[in-house]
Amino acid sequence: MKIKNLKDLEELKIKGLESLYPKRTKINVGLGTCGIATGARAVFDSIADEIEKQGIDALVGKTGCLGFCQREPLVDVWQPGKSRIIYCQMDPEKARDLVTGLAQGKTRKEWALCRMEEEEFIIENTKKKYSIKEKDGKDIPLYREIPFYRKQKKIALRNCGFMNPENIEEYIARGGYFSLARVLSRLKEEEVIEEIKNSGLRGRGGAGFPTGLKWKFCRDARGEPKYIICNADEGDPGAYMDRSILEGDPHSVLEGMVIGAYAIGSHEGYIYVRNEYPLAAQSVERAIRQAEEYGLLGENIFNSGFNFRIRISQGAGAFVCGEETALLASIEGKIGEPRPRPPFPAERGLWDKPTNINNVKTWANVPVIIARGADWYSKMGTAKSKGTMVFSLVGKINNTGLVEVPMGIKLREMIYDIGEGIPEGKKFKAVQTGGPSGGCIPSELADLEVDYEKLTQAGSMMGSGGMVVMDEDTCMVNVAKYFLNFTKDESCGKCTPCREGIKRMLEILDDISKGKAKETDLELLETLARVVKDASLCALGGTAPNPVLTTLRYFRNEYEAHIKDKKCPAHICPDLIHYSIDKEKCTGCGLCLKECPQTAISGEKKKPHSIDKSKCIKCGVCFEVCNFDAVEID
Amino acid sequence: MLNLTIDGKKVSVEKGTTVLHAARKLGIEIPTLCYHEGVSPYGACRVCLVEVVKGIKTGLTTSCTCLAEEGMEVKSDSPRVLESRKLMVELLLARCPEAEKVKDLARKMGIEGVRFKREDKECILCGLCVRVCQEIIEASVIGFINRGANREVETPFQAQSDVCIGCGACSSVCPTEAIKIKEMFDKRILETWHTELELKSCKICGRYFVPKKELEHLKEKIELPEDIFEICTDCKRKSLTGKIGEIKTGAI
């Protein structure tokens, strides 16, 4: 059916609500890539199988990712009249037990992550309160109360994990496409741009350019046709929020794009999604088809006379294609290489026509801003960074996952409150924000309020929102080496500083980590980093030195220890560490001797053993297997 | 006309002029490696960097790609510019220690030694050959393969090209003599492109003088009497001077 007016949309909303909150039990399984990776498909199958086998009157549904990736597979159980309970770390066996229990009216509290008594529909500013007749699971903490979710404010991630991404009616039920209806029926193009401008929304791809202004440039640019692009070429190691949105809530991106297209005057759009995201591409493709079927995309949208089509373009897997000019080249079928700007894409973009490119998260924010207004949105965040930001909290942290928080949250809150600290009680050392192009921020700056400006001042950047937490066992030279190795491989190789400079920086870092570097090398490394940042053609080379520059700025002593003392303080760089056995502690159990792959350990049974340093390859096996802490590293 | 200042000197140029050309108009020399007037600018070698002042912000940009704007202020000799250019050349010299043009540039810039491990490559990846082949010859025989530090100019699949006409424009535009072409009797061998092409012999002297494929390519592009394509340049000259001689002696 084609939706022609608000009445049609309201009717679908009712259908969607019935699907979201049916009159019988519904078991939802999070089937995002992260869920699938931990076995959610098998969980889904076993639930479906068990329901059928036992002839239970229950539905089984799929949702996207709820963000708490570490606790996947997540399963949420909706039962009319009861609290909604989210179970975590499920497996097929537990899932069968759960279904059997449900049939007998049992709650498996021991597997529960949290429970919900209401849901926030942020776009409508309403709370959907469940009509709970039977209070059970009171000792299960509420969703809003558990540390991982307590400080979160979900705008871009509003629907992820709460609805079936394959069901457009569920999206409509949660307030979807009402913003588009309002825009097309009541707002002028300029008014839309003005609203986005006033909201203070900035590009969530990392550079943070004001979105409204970008739209205005493209609208004012001469040339037809104009193109709209969604940049879903998310390539930072450890960042996956764009994927999660495309998988879990593709319509939010489509709706944002149609609104943007209307404001800019475009009738053709592309979603550029990387090849490594097959599920996301499928999800978007399905969503496009559905939206077209319902008249929310394509010809005469909402019977308004406005036309807009979206196509999918898949990249071949190059990090540099996230850079907008390289992305454009890739869509055009050319090698994905950046070109100098100006001219900016707003002026000369895809096929030399005015083009507006925004990140997945930016688009997903748009419908909410239209619905709730610029004033509401701009009240969140800091002076220049408004709204929320999605971070992927990963690395040495207890709670890993996708986190959406208001801009201005302190790093400390991210790490200790949401992330609940560092595993094994280790010390927090640094956090890399902004992916390989970002920088390492030391623990001393834990009170830094996270926004575009503050991160840049600290030598890092917002980037796409990656947050890799490191503990005391991390060698900062090694970290810089890791990220530079990535950018070395992902540099397109077009310009001299990025291609040759990163390679040379990496050579110096390698020397440092092997204890072969001279003191003057540190100066050369710094000069190289500074010039590569300054002289590169695009943002890849322009930001690649950040890990080096920030680790030099905050952890210079560690570099010096490698160079002058030939020591790796974190005991990571193999060339600079030595294993030895403490004769006092060694019981002569022989375990290390047995496990050493080099037969470098010798000693009689029940007498202290020793390591032959000339044979030792520093694999660390002896250290790991010793039950008496007798193996030492220096 | 647009008015801008470069190193404090005022210059007026037409719209669409690059900063590089504006500087040349003032007699300010900006070194280049990947720039050639005959093909589109590329901005890759970064040797022609200049500093453009925009309000309180200044940024480095390549003068070969940057178009002049009204009121633009450019610095071509600031310490920041010179330091960056010098490092670019040092990086290229470390890559291609034997490339004369790079060595020359290094000498002019006062680069005394290379602080990086030396490689023994010949190609600086300026991309002139790729652009000439694509934009001027319209054959697109070669392109870039691989990424980052592994980038190279190559034919597709590093195999013999079936579209190369053997014109050698790539080799003549190459600033570092990295493209090897030789002739052996009736063949032109483009070693770098794994390609051998048959030569045509001159109708008059019998000498092999041009790849057959190049002639076919030219015939398609330019309409000239068939004979022109059959005779080598030497014989053409001889026949022409003969004719001039005849005119002078009154034979014609």
> Using CB atoms, which residue from A496, A502, A524 is nearest to B88?
A496
What are the backbone dihedrals phi and psi of residue B49, each rounded to the nearest 5 degrees, phi first? -55, 140
Q: Is A516 on the interface with B (CB under 8 A)?
A: no
Residue for token pair 């991160």: A455
- Inter-chain contact A500–B94, Cβ cutoff 8 Å? yes
> Do the domains A177-376 and A476-565 sit in the same CATH topology, yes or no?
no
Q: Is B210 on the interface with A (CB under 8 A)?
A: no
Residue for token pair 């969530």: A204
Q: Is A603 on the interface with B (CB under 8 A)?
A: no
A78-127 residue pLDDT tens:
999 999 999 999 999 999 999 999 888 888 999 999 999 999 999 999 99
Per-residue confidence (pLDDT) for residue B252, from 0 to 100: 53
DSSP β-ladder status, A388-395 and A466-471:
parallel
Pairs of CB atoms within 8 A across A/B? 96
Q: Is B111 on the interface with A (CB under 8 A)?
A: no
Determine the distance in angstroms separating the CA of A577 from the nearest CA of chain B, rounded to an integer. 26
Is B43 in a helix, a strand, or coil?
Answer: coil
**Residue-wise DSSP of A442-509:** EGGGTT-B-SHHHHHHTT---TT-EEEEEETT--HHHHHHHHHHHHHHH--S-SHIIIIIHHHHHHHH
In B, which residues are within 8 Å of A498 by CB distance?
A: 148
Lowest-confidence region among A427-436, B185-194, B216-225: B216-225
Q: Which residue of A has its CA nearest to B115?
A: A524
Complex-level ipTM:
0.92
Q: Residue A610 pairs with which residues in a beta bridge?
A: A602
What CATH class is the domain A6-150?
Answer: alpha beta
In B, which residues are within 8 Å of A501 by CB distance?
A: 87, 91
**Residue-wise DSSP of A502-563:** HHHHHHHHHHHHTT---HHHHHHHHHHHHHHHHH-SSHHHHHTTHHHHHHHHH-HHHHHHHH
> What average pLDDT is seen over chain A?
95
**CATH fold of A177-376:** Rossmann fold (3.40.50)
CATH of region A476-565, choose from 1.10.1740.10, 3.40.50.2000, 1.20.1440.230, 3.40.50.720: 1.20.1440.230
Q: Is B150 on the interface with A (CB under 8 A)?
A: yes
Domains along chain B with CATH numbers: 2-82 (3.10.20.740), 128-246 (no CATH)
Q: Is A42 on the interface with B (CB under 8 A)?
A: no
A595-620 residue pLDDT tens:
999 999 999 999 999 999 999 999 99
| DSSP code for A386 | B
Per-residue confidence (pLDDT) for residue B250, from 0 to 100: 67
Q: Is A528 on the interface with B (CB under 8 A)?
A: yes
Q: Is A327:A336 a contact under the CB 8 Å cutoff?
A: yes
**Is the overall model pTM greater than 0.80, yes or no?**
yes
∠ CA A318-A266-A203, rounded to 5°: 50
Q: Is residue B56 packed enough to be buried (19+ CB in 10 Å), middle (13-18) or exposed (0-12)?
A: exposed
- Inter-chain contact B60–A534, Cβ cutoff 8 Å? yes
> What's the CA gap between A93 and A101, in Å, rounded?
12
Q: Which residue of A has its CA nearest to B95?
A: A500
B76-127 residue pLDDT tens:
999 999 999 999 999 999 999 999 999 999 999 999 889 999 999 999 999 9
Element (H, E) at A160: none
Is A578-633 assigned to CATH 3.40.190.10?
no
A197-255 residue pLDDT tens:
999 999 998 889 999 999 999 999 999 999 999 999 998 888 899 999 999 999 999 99
Selected residue of B19, B80, B87 to mutate for chain A interface (largest A Cβ count, 10 A):
B87
Q: Is A490 on the interface with B (CB under 8 A)?
A: yes
In B, which residues are within 8 Å of A504 by CB distance?
A: 91, 94, 116
**Stretch 332-361 of chain A: residues touching chain B, C-beta under 8 Å:** 335, 337, 339-340, 342
User: Domains of chain A: which residue ranges?
Assistant: 6-150, 177-376, 388-471, 476-565, 578-633
In A, which residues are within 8 Å of B117 by CB distance?
A: 507
> Using CB atoms, which residue from B46, B146, B149 is nearest to A495?
B46
Q: Give the start-end residues of each E strand in A79-174.
A: 84-87, 112-116, 118-121, 126-129
**CATH fold of A388-471:** Ubiquitin-like (UB roll) (3.10.20)
Q: Which residue of B has its CA nearest to A317?
A: B147
Determine the distance in angstroms separating the CA of B59 from the nearest CA of chain A, rounded to an integer. 8
Determine the distance in angstroms separating the CA of B143 from the nearest CA of chain A, rounded to an integer. 9
A294-309 residue pLDDT tens:
999 999 999 999 999 9
In B, which residues are within 8 Å of A489 by CB distance?
A: 147-148
A126-157 residue pLDDT tens:
998 998 887 778 889 999 999 999 999 999 99
Per-residue confidence (pLDDT) for residue A1, from 0 to 100: 82
Q: Is B45 on the interface with A (CB under 8 A)?
A: yes
Selected residue of A525, A531, A532, A536 to mutate for chain B interface (largest B Cβ count, 10 A):
A531
**Stretch 18-37 of chain B: residues touching chain A, C-beta under 8 Å:** none
Reference A573, options A522, A515, A622; nearest CA is A515
What are the backbone dihedrals phi and psi of residue A271, each rounded to the nearest 5 degrees, phi first? -110, 115
Average pLDDT over residues A573-583: 93
> What's the CA gap between B55 and A111, in Å, rounded?
60
Selected residue of B15, B19, B46 to mutate for chain A interface (largest A Cβ count, 10 A):
B46
Average pLDDT over residues A384-412: 96
> Using CB atoms, which residue from B87, B143, B149 is nearest to A488?
B149
Average pLDDT over residues A497-508: 97
